[in-house]
Amino acid sequence: MIANLPYTALRTFESVVRLRGFGRAAEELGVTQSAVSQHVKSLEEWLGRRLINRGGGRASPTDEGIRLAAAVAQGFGQVASLCHDLRDDTAQNLTIGLSCLPGFAYNWLFPRLINFDQLHPEFPVSIITSATLTNFTDDEADLAIRYGLGGYAGLHVEPLLAERIFPVCAPSLLEKGPPLRDVADLARHTLLVDDIADIGGSPPTWDYWAKEAGVVLPKPARTRRFGQSNMVVQAAVRGLGVALGREPLVIDALCEGTLVRPFPQMVVSQFSYWLVCPTGALKSDRIRAIRDWLVEEAQRQPEIPAGSSVAASG
């Protein structure tokens, strides 16, 4: 029976469930969306059960589909973990592959990575930046930092950083731009928007912030959208508008004074950053070293500075 399992279809199905869609699964696997759909259909026919509810432009797993996807993820996770153990036993590859989103890498990870290099020069780190979730079976990643709600079946998962959100802007925007004394003044400013992928829950958008903060968000003079969070942060630093700051991505700029908080309202995001790796991977000295260092760096993250005195006195 094991030899006859449709491994490609099972792997494809797990990707569809994990990424919440046929299109994202196709992108991760490097195949067409039609091929993904066909694999899932063939798996359903092989099992004689419906695994995916299709409709409304979204694909959601049935109860049986959820159970199967979790079992596949766990099985692949165990295989990946064993492969990591075997690679470590050869003592030939000491490089650590760390996967994360580009914005997190640029704004939080890179400024701190020299600290790990100084502590563990024997373990080179290769950063893999990608907007898609890591496939530990095929990718070169040993460990990933994922952004979202958590709950990654079949993998070792632990929280790394929580996230609070609040408006931020360059000090020069407060000094030279239109007044920015309260939220209503955003009507005279440009809002910088981060197009966050749909990964469930309520993403940290301007509307989410306004609702949770109990304020009315006016129609801005202009809206500029960016596909990457590091571009949003850089646009705000350059004084091109007001951005919704996501704590780990703007904490260094706030501490350095290149960004400030014009308003006091701060709310907790539903999303967090999670450390994810195959089950058993932390038995490896190099994976344990990078994991422990990341946790320590997260614990050392400074508190969010108070709001701008310029805004308060303006």
pLDDT band at 84 (very low <50, low <70, confident <90, very high): low
* pTM listed for this prediction: 0.73
* Arithmetic mean of pLDDT, 117-143: 83
| Helices vs strands, H then E, count in the chain | 12, 12
pLDDT exceeding 90 applies to what percent of the chain?
A: 50
Name the CA dihedral angle for 278, 282, 283, 287, rounded to a multiple of 10 degrees. 110
Residue with more model confidence, 219 or 137: 219
* Arithmetic mean of pLDDT, 29-42: 78
* Arithmetic mean of pLDDT, 136-162: 86
Note the pLDDT tens digit of each residue in 201-228. 889 999 999 999 999 999 999 999 998 8
Domains in the chain, CATH or no CATH each: 2-61 (1.10.10.10), 83-161+271-299 (3.40.190.10), 164-269 (3.40.190.10)
Q: Is the pLDDT of residue 231 over 90?
A: yes
Lookup: tokens for 91 = 């003592």
Minimal CA–CA distance to 195: which of 167, 219, 169, 225?
A: 225
The pLDDT assigned to 46 comes to 82
CA–CA distances in Å: residue 233 to residues 49, 131, 148, 153, 167: 47, 17, 19, 32, 11
**How far apart are alpha carbons 247 and 242 in whole angstroms?**
15
